[in-house]
Structure 1
Amino acid sequence: MSSYETILFSQGEGIARLTLNRPDRLNSFTVQMHEEVADALGQLDEARVLVVTGAGRGFCAGQDLNDRAVAPGESVDLGHSVETYYNPLIRRLTSLPLPVIARVNGVAAGAGANIALACDIVIAAKSAKFIQSFAAIGLIPDSGGTWVLPRLVGQARALGLALTAEPLPAEQAAEWGLIWKAVEDEALDEEVDTLATRFASAPTRGLAAIKQMIRASWEHSLDEELDLQRDNMRELGHSEDYREGVAAFMEKRTPRFTGR
């Protein structure tokens, strides 16, 4: 397994764990971190669930502005940075054929907030905060922000979060439907580990299909979605995990899913 300088990455028992590891900079992204994250995501091997988190007291503060070393008064092609690094990362997280859990242990700001929201399930410590900090420096919420925010919390709240850049506490984020759950800080590890262990022994193909269909449903009419449901049920009905699930139910035992 590769050795990294800005992230930690491990795999075992079906669980992959990716930790952004620049705690002195609140795990803000540099080009090197982007490259290492991309490399790690290409090595998921037999993982059946991915946990993404940050080291230290924060999840991710977005882009490390120091990484660009732009002199005052000069301009920089932010579109290149978005197209080269952030867009591929969001596309990768949302399309991985397995559940992705964001373990938000502290502040998630700017692109860091939207990277968390690109994960399938977000579990945050109650002390964590989500900040769409872009407006404070004259930018728009990238990394999927302008797309995902109104879909999760509605236009009024999306505009409020994006225009004011005010921090949203994790408990309120959960109440608004922005994230799955906010838990006591000391319960965060147990909550995430329990769910990751559950997913690691679950019928992975079925979970991947659920993820793909729900994420793509915005683009479909009801009739189109019904046809896609038919097609997916047909395919999954031939899977080993479906046969095992039915057999375990009939035999009143715990199923032994293989992810196939």
Structure 2
Amino acid sequence: MNRQEQDVLATETEGVRTITLNRPDSLNAINVSLLSQLVRALHEAQDARAVVLTGTGRAFCTGEDLKQTLAPQSGKPDELRRSFELLQEVTRAITRLKAPVVAAVHGYAVGGGAEIALAADLVVLQKGTRIRFPEVPIGHAHTGGITLRLPQIVGLMRAKELLLRGRWIESTEAVALGLAIEETADASARAHELAAELAGQPPRSLAAAKHAIETATFPMQEANLRMEVDAATYCFASIEADAAFEDFKLRGNVAGARS
């Protein structure tokens, strides 16, 4: 299988499906097209034995493309809300896949990009990777289920610190916090190695273990996702959110990207 699309690439080798974010000129920033194609690629991975999630170019994903916005056609709340729901469908699709998902993260994982990565079952970081949740400082809101997932991953107080401050997290600290299982010189190669190992495990056992862990750890995922959409819709109507878009257009750097 070798299927390519403009913003997402999907290939498969020996049961390992590789799904690649493919907007390298924008550091794989999230727009509506990428979200739609990513959701479709994940839904089409139901028969895979394992999935690797990665990105082309210099970054895994730098969050929302603030040059385009997630409501490019009308700019209205209803269109924005549909995009938020698409982002949340990425979280649902990853966590509901029977196959294990390994995220190979390099460069930057910012905002929604970090949320996509942390929905995976295993995360491998390339040395030098930087992670950030910048939503609060720029007047936005988290929309990919991270307000539920992060406290379980790093603990309540540390999750609050990371989400409220929106500071950068270097790869070594990220591994120490439990945001990834390891730091490596080549995240893609290591992720594919792990995925090949998992693809050789009994698929029913893998699916049963994954489902049991997700259900036990995140039983309130649907309620949390609905709450996040409401919060994001509310926050995006603020003066601070508008200012963040204008500031990003002037600066044009990854520090302003978000989910």
The whole-number CA distance in structure 1 between the counterparts of 2:148 and 2:46 is: 30
The structure showing larger relative contact order (alpha-carbon pairs under 8 Å, at least 6 residues apart) is 2
The residue aligned with 2:52 is: 51
- Checking the alignment, whether the CA contact within 8 Å between 2:134 and 2:163 is kept in structure 1 is yes
Q: Equivalent residue for 1:196?
A: 195
The alignment partner of 2:57 has SS state of coil
Structure 2 segments unaligned to the other structure (5+ residues): 220-259
Residue 158 of structure 2 aligns to which amino acid in structure 1? R
Question: Gaps spanning 5+ residues in structure 1: where?
Answer: 221-260
2:142 maps to what in 1?
A: 141
TM-score by length of 1: 0.77
- Using the alignment, how far apart are the partners of 1:70 and 1:79 within structure 2? 8
Assess if the C-alpha contact under 8 Å between 2:60 and 2:105 holds in 1: yes
2:209 maps to which residue?
210
Q: CA deviation at 1:2?
A: 4.7
1:216 is displaced (CA, Å) by 0.9
1:41-71 Cα deviation digits (max 9, x unpaired): 2322642000001111100011112223879
Match in the other structure for 1:67: 68
Distance change >3 Å, CA 169–CA 219, structure 1 → 2: closer
Give the SS at the match of 1:102.
Answer: strand
SS of 2:60's equivalent? strand
Structure 1 counterpart SS, 2:99: coil
CA drift of 1:75 comes to: 6.8
Aligned residue for 2:83?
81
- Aligned match of 2:93: 92
Count matched residues: 215
Q: Which amino acid aligns with 1:162?
A: L
1:165 aligns with 166
Partner AA of 2:215 in structure 1: A
Distance 2:205 2:195 in 1: 16
What residue in structure 1 maps to residue 7 of structure 2?
6
- Post-superposition shift, 1:182? 1.5
Q: Is the 8 A contact 2:71 2:83 kept in 1?
A: no
> Aligned in 2, Cα 1:135/1:45: closer, same or farther, shift over 3 Å?
closer
Runs of 4+ in 1 over 6 A off after TM superposition: none
| Deviates most, 171-180 or 187-196 | 187-196
Determine the C-alpha separation between the residues in 2 that align with 1:219 and 1:47.
24
The 3-state SS of whatever aligns with 1:133 is coil
For 2:81, give the aligned amino acid: G
CA–CA distance in structure 1, aligned partners of residues 206 and 194 of structure 2: 13
Please name the residue that 1:154 is paired with: 155
Q: In the TM superposition, what are the counterparts of 1:85-124 in structure 2 within 5 Å? A: 85-124=86-125
Q: Aligned partners of 1:182 and 1:3: how far apart in 2? A: 29
Q: Kindly, what percent of the aligned residue pairs are identical? A: 34
CA shift for structure 1 position 29: 1.2
